[in-house]
Amino acid sequence: MTTAVPHRVHFVGVGGSGLSALARVTMGLGSRVTGSDRVRGDEISSLQALGLTFQVGHEPDLVKDAEMVVITSAIREEVPEVAWARARGVTVCKRHQYLPLLAQGKRMVAIAGTHGKTTTTALLAHVLAETDRDPTAVVGGMLESWGSNARVGESDLFVVEADEYDRMFLSLNPWLGVLTIVEADHPDCYPDRAAMEAAFSQFARQCRSLVVNGDDPGIARALAAAGVGSSSRYGRGVECNWRLLAAAGDHDATTVSFRAPNGCSHRARVRMWGAHSAANCLAAVAAAFEVGVPPAEASEALSSFEGVRRRFSVRGPFSGVFVVDDYAHHPTEVRAVVDSARQRFAGRRILVVLQPHTFSRLEQHFEDFVEALRLGDEAFVLPVYASREAGDSVAAAALLARAAGAVALPPVAEAAGPLLQHVRPGDVVLNLGAGDAQSLSSDLIAALADGDVAPAS
């Protein structure tokens, strides 16, 4: 176990995707871990099986013998556990402060970008594990093949998803950094594109070496501002030393063809769809090469990748209808999911259901959301998931629906019935959002399994 991590750690908000992964790794390193959350989430049982002691609520019962308390950015200082620890001099740190402690003494490979970082992190971790490089990994989503969002390995490799929100990734000093896409997002943290790119410039300067998307203009500007000239580039452009030659998708998978820096061509068959997925696969191959994995080995490993939960997760068919869950909550991501669906489900009608995530993002990208929704054969808008913001969720969603020619749906718990009035056998329903919209998929599937779908017209 790294000496930077104490023997007794308490996590406040342990059920979330960020802290649950850190708790898994901490237990895997041999520390005793306790944790709390306001509700008992889906991940708690699996964490308890690994040794977690858990409590619902935030009374300071479990924290009293902790040597360190780890919290998320959403946890307020007045929460009893945090207040108790502060008053007694127990170290309290946020996720981005704790992560470097876990990685101490390791070669950190950090994947950053406004889109694609979760999938690319998962792909790279999968490739390294399948090729016996045995990494430790912390991913922002659940790998279907692992049933987990983290693993503890014996090698010196530490693969981590580097989150740009609240500039958290600037606490890292990676041995290798991977940049997927840099685009305006998180307007509550970055007022404009320039501010976002400045943060990525700083991140690039903190990396010992880089693998970057050579086709992305945001990355090009960020690297130029950082004064970073040498890096490994992947993409379709002629300046990319990892050259994407073709990506041909069918019902079963996508064949990704690429040329390595030595001029040799390779092909990988992956159960993913869309141009963005091909780029993410090539990023993983290029990054794996930097740690010693030959392209042929990496390509073979990609064929067994089973995906990440809520990243184009296909369920069905139920009464002839497929339901696809995806975390997409930015216009670029919505377009990418529709593109994937057109490949995977060629000839079927595509219904897009979007739960906008935060008022600030909706305002910043309103017209882009309108255009993205119009890519579906029919479109539907759920009330805005406000998260940390305040506003009228129903009114904001209705405004977007009117502009896009979409149907405004009631809140998630009530939305399945009205949505099913539009669903026909053979349809594909894309359920998109980073809030609580995933429960709509369960409601839809239950109703479809009971035959609650209108006949084809």
Model confidence at 1, in pLDDT bands (50, 70, 90)?
very low
pLDDT tens digits for range 229-283: 778 999 999 999 999 999 998 999 999 999 999 999 999 999 999 999 999 999 9
pLDDT tens digits for range 359-388: 999 999 999 999 999 999 999 999 999 988
| 3.30.70.270, 3.90.190.20, 3.90.1110.10, 3.40.50.720: CATH of 313-449 | 3.90.190.20
The pair of three-digit structure tokens given for residue 441, joined into one six-digit string: 């998929």
Residue range 125-143: mean pLDDT, rounded: 96
Q: Which amino acid is at 312?
A: F
d(CA 256, CA 254): 6
Judge whether residue 455 has pLDDT over 70. no
- The residues of the chain that CATH labels 3.40.1190.10 are 103-302
Judge whether residue 296 has pLDDT over 90. yes
Q: If you search the block for the tokens 């780890």, which residue do you land on?
A: 70
d(CA 270, CA 256): 8
Judge whether residue 454 has pLDDT over 80. no
Contact between 58 and 12 (Cβ < 8 Å)? yes
The larger pLDDT score, comparing residue 41 to residue 277, is at 277
Return the number of other C-beta atoms located less than 10 Å from residue 75's C-beta.
18
Domain 103-302, what fold?
UDP-N-acetylmuramoyl-L-alanine:D-glutamate ligase (3.40.1190)
- The residues of the chain that CATH labels 3.40.50.720 are 8-96
Return the number of other C-beta atoms located less than 10 Å from residue 425's C-beta.
15
DSSP bridge partners of 110: 160, 177
- The residues of the chain that CATH labels 3.90.190.20 are 313-449
Closest to 417 (Cα-Cα) out of 453, 455, 383, 379: 453
Mean pLDDT of the chain: 93
d(CA 235, CA 212): 9
Model confidence at 60, in pLDDT bands (50, 70, 90)?
confident
Model confidence at 124, in pLDDT bands (50, 70, 90)?
very high
Query: In sequence order, what are the residues at sequence separation of 6 or more whose Cβ sits closer than 8 angstroms to the Cβ of residue 221?
Result: 182, 197
Judge whether residue 164 has pLDDT over 90. yes
Model confidence at 2, in pLDDT bands (50, 70, 90)?
low
Beta strand spans in 113-164 (E): 136-143, 148-151, 157-161
Q: Count helices and strands (H / E) in the chain.
A: 15, 21
Beta strand spans in 275-344 (E): 313-318, 321-326
- Global confidence as pTM: 0.93
CA distance readout (Å), 449 to 260, 320, 325, 326, 444: 47, 10, 17, 21, 8
Judge whether residue 356 has pLDDT over 60. yes
pLDDT tens digits for range 411-442: 999 999 999 999 999 999 999 999 899 999 99
Return the number of other C-beta atoms located less than 10 Å from residue 271's C-beta.
17
pLDDT tens digits for range 309-346: 999 999 999 999 999 999 999 999 999 999 999 999 99
d(CA 373, CA 329): 12
Coil, strand or helix at 370:
helix
| Per-residue confidence (pLDDT) for residue 254, from 0 to 100 | 96
| 3.40.50.20, 2.102.10.10, 3.90.1300.10, 3.40.50.720: CATH of 8-96 | 3.40.50.720
